[in-house]
Amino acid sequence: MQVKPIEWRDTMIRVLDQTRLPSEVIFLDVADYVEMAAAIREMRIRGAPAIGVAAAYGLALGAQAIEARTKEEFLVKLGTVSRELASTRPTAVNLFWALERMNRAAGEGTAISEIKAALVEEAKRIERENEEADRQIGRLGAELIEYGFTILTHCNAGALATAGYGTALGVIKAAHEQGKQVRVIACETRPLLQGARLTAWELIEEQIPLTLITDSMAGHFMSRGKIDCVIVGADRIARNGDVVNKIGTYSVAVLARENSVPFYVAAPTSTIDLSVKSGAEIPIEERSPEEVTWIRGTRIAPEGVKVANPAFDVTPHRYISAIITEKGVVREPYGEGLKGLF
Amino acid sequence: MQVKPIEWRDTMIRVLDQTRLPSEVIFLDVADYVEMAAAIREMRIRGAPAIGVAAAYGLALGAQAIEARTKEEFLVKLGTVSRELASTRPTAVNLFWALERMNRAAGEGTAISEIKAALVEEAKRIERENEEADRQIGRLGAELIEYGFTILTHCNAGALATAGYGTALGVIKAAHEQGKQVRVIACETRPLLQGARLTAWELIEEQIPLTLITDSMAGHFMSRGKIDCVIVGADRIARNGDVVNKIGTYSVAVLARENSVPFYVAAPTSTIDLSVKSGAEIPIEERSPEEVTWIRGTRIAPEGVKVANPAFDVTPHRYISAIITEKGVVREPYGEGLKGLF
């Protein structure tokens, strides 16, 4: 199976609607950048690297529709498109990274038609590089996986999240392809159940043995010696190695250290934000209370209950055994190691 | 509000069906002990102290229906009833403790009619003592709560779980009644959502300020300094102070210690099992995979996915700041302290 969460089709972008998985495999035909912004905001496409690709294609699509007489006028209008896409989600840095790259590419062209074509090419290049980075992360990460390992993962950092091969799941897939007989324990990942819905779906498609658990069970299985290592993705990595990732990641990291289980983060270098000193500086998206009080159309809590719903948390670098990037595996001291990648 | 999860009505037992809360408040009229066993197994009534009371009433009800000519014949038939009730759930010790007390009471009587009456009285006494123990736990526990505390709790250890005032929530209610302006953060408690459904419902009824979170958020809020202490109930406490409680409790305890947040367990002495040396000896109930793959009638994971569903975990005593019982607050060394209660 080649899961394709996003596909450029010249006049539109085909997006696999991840909010409908696993019960329905439905594709959306995204016709303009406003629809793409909505698809990102509503998490029809999600995962830090994938929303980078989605934003790049969204900008390319938006660019095609711009009518302008001068390059300056074109760039002003492109700025509006870019700001709309940038406003969708605050935490994953790949979104801003991809838009910045696209805007730089736009600045380099001269004729408007040339810039429009260059933007499509740049978006395709981002997607391709993303896929190549995933493969390399898989190769490097698989070296950390021993034969017969049981690997715990949280959320979904698979092909669905990267528009490529996957980061955390890329490592697992690479180890699996090498015949290492790995098994996966997937946390369901409330509130939006990316583990139960997306990781389970991807691993069943890949025929990698999987056991689904609730998030509250991760510690129990670690304490019983059932987990050999943890691998997760990342939404943004600070200069000091602090990792912002899906809510619940911090808990898993603390439990891993308490039980002497290695805790790995797999992410492309586009996820690293050297401009932020530590995780404390990274904005944490607060999402709608209904994501907690409703599950797939069913209300589970009393009317009027107050809810908190931070979508991410910060895992301080001291809990992280290694960060696996396409340019190498970095360990403490992260400050030096991460800077050395660039 | 006086939440009454179970009520003796002479010819039947009225049970509040907790699987239907909070969307529906529905009572079951339990007509015989087989129905009571089913109600416990299906978690229509749940919570360690409450299932002790339910088993006691179930045995009393079963006893009324026994036809026997001799005390010996009566006790043989009562044994069948008792074994059926004991087979419902393996982890919480209060179930076995209550049945043992009931069987002892049965042994003491002479005439069958006298024994039948004594069993009803003993069950009522268990319920009454349970309520008194909760009140005393509340009083003693509230001394540990300071003005303005934000208290995290997992699962539901309230009136619904004890057929009384509540253990963990009893402490919170007592502090609230003393005007301590406490706030509660409740973990939703997957898979069966006792936090979202039952704790949220109970606290809204009691008008105690509450914020509902997913289980994966507990660590995040502790790391941000938002939680002053944790209080949970217990299903069984071993001689060394290890606590078996709802799955996820261990994770919360580890996260609490990592963030220097006191972690309290509130439970009546009937939850303490001096016959087991440590938590490792306590059987952990494995429940149906459907509790994980379905939420309130909606499937959330792909068909055919493998699932683990342990209903409880073990929190080693070293993570526990204090165990609050009706006979006193016990701290390390737990071995001595717990034995001293009896």
Residue B1 has a pLDDT of: 52
CATH number of the domain at B6-134, please? 1.20.120.420
Nearest CA in chain B to A310: B217
Residue A181: CB atoms within 10 A of its CB come to 12
Tell me if the pTM is above 0.90: yes
**Is A235 annotated in the active site?**
yes
Question: With an 8 Å Cβ cutoff, are B307 and A211 in contact?
Answer: yes
Rg (C-alpha) for chain B, rounded Å, is: 20
Beta bridge partners of A21: none
Q: What's the CA gap between B123 and B118, in Å, rounded?
A: 9
Residues 6+ apart with CB under 8 A from A114: none
Q: Report pLDDT digits (tens) over B114-128.
A: 999 999 999 999 999
Sequence ranges of chain A with CATH classification 1.20.120.420: 6-134
Residue A1 has a pLDDT of: 52
Beta bridge partners of B87: none
Amino acid residing at A330: V
Sequence ranges of chain A with CATH classification 3.40.50.10470: 136-340
Nearest-5° Cα angle at B136, B177 to B134: 85
ipTM: 0.96
Q: Shortest Cα distance from B90 to chain A (angstroms)?
A: 18
Question: With an 8 Å Cβ cutoff, are A301 and B196 in contact?
Answer: yes
Closest to B68 (Cα-Cα) out of B81, B52, B50: B81
Q: What's the CA gap between B318 and B341, in Å, rounded?
A: 19
Write down the CATH superfamily of domain B136-340.
Translation initiation factor eif-2b; domain 2 (3.40.50.10470)
A14-to-A97, A206, B32, B298 alpha-carbon distances in Å:
22, 22, 59, 28
Token pair recorded at residue B196: 């979202």
Question: With an 8 Å Cβ cutoff, are A248 and B219 in contact?
Answer: yes
Q: Measure CA B152 to chain center.
A: 17
Site from A183, A214, A230, A309 to mutate, B interface, most B CB atoms within 10 angstroms? A214
Q: Report pLDDT digits (tens) over B226-265.
A: 999 999 999 999 999 999 999 999 999 999 999 999 999 9
Q: Report pLDDT digits (tens) over B130-154.
A: 999 999 999 999 999 999 999 999 9
Token pair recorded at residue B298: 């909606």
- Decide if B64 contacts B53 (C-beta within 8 A): no
- Decide if A238 contacts A309 (C-beta within 8 A): no
Nearest residue, CB atoms, A295 vs list B22, B248, B300: B300
* Positive/negative CA dihedral, B171, B176, B182, B185: positive
- Decide if A82 contacts A102 (C-beta within 8 A): yes
Residue B2 has a pLDDT of: 65
- Decide if A83 contacts A76 (C-beta within 8 A): no
Residue A155 has a pLDDT of: 98
Nearest CA in chain A to B304: A204
Closest to B218 (Cα-Cα) out of A248, A49, A333, A158: A248
Nearest residue, CB atoms, B247 vs list A217, A297, A298: A217
Q: What's the CA gap between A68 and A82, in Å, rounded?
A: 16
Q: Does residue B324 carry a pLDDT above 90?
A: yes
**Cis ω for the linkage preceding B5 (within 30 of 0):** no
Token pair recorded at residue A290: 């209904």
Q: Does residue B296 carry a pLDDT above 80?
A: yes
Q: Shortest Cα distance from A92 to chain B (angstroms)?
A: 18
- Decide if B187 contacts B154 (C-beta within 8 A): yes
User: Which residue among the candidates A235, A242, A273, A313 is catalytic per the annotation?
Assistant: A235
Beta bridge partners of B17: none
Site from A19, A188, A216 to mutate, B interface, most B CB atoms within 10 angstroms? A216
DSSP secondary structure code for residue A52 in this structure: H
Average pLDDT, chain B: 97
Question: With an 8 Å Cβ cutoff, are B308 and A212 in contact?
Answer: yes
Q: What's the CA gap between B141 and B146, in Å, rounded?
A: 11
pLDDT band at B4 (very low <50, low <70, confident <90, very high): confident
Residue B3 has a pLDDT of: 73
Q: Hunting for tokens 């698979």 — which residue is that?
A: A158
Q: What's the CA gap between A252 and A255, in Å, rounded?
A: 5
The mean pLDDT values, 10 residues at a time, for chain A of 342 residues are: 84 96 95 98 97 98 97 97 97 96 95 97 97 98 98 97 95 98 98 98 96 98 98 98 98 98 98 97 97 94 97 98 98 97 96
Residue B266 has a pLDDT of: 98
Spell out where chain B has E strands: 6-8, 13-16, 27-30, 150-153, 183-187, 210-213, 229-232, 236-238, 243-246, 263-266, 272-273, 294-295, 298-299, 306-307, 312-315, 322-325, 328-330
Order of strands across the sheet with A27-30?
A6-8, A13-16, A27-30
Residue A172 has a pLDDT of: 98
Q: Does residue B320 carry a pLDDT above 70?
A: yes
Q: What's the CA gap between A284 and A171, in Å, rounded?
A: 26
Token pair recorded at residue A183: 């098994």
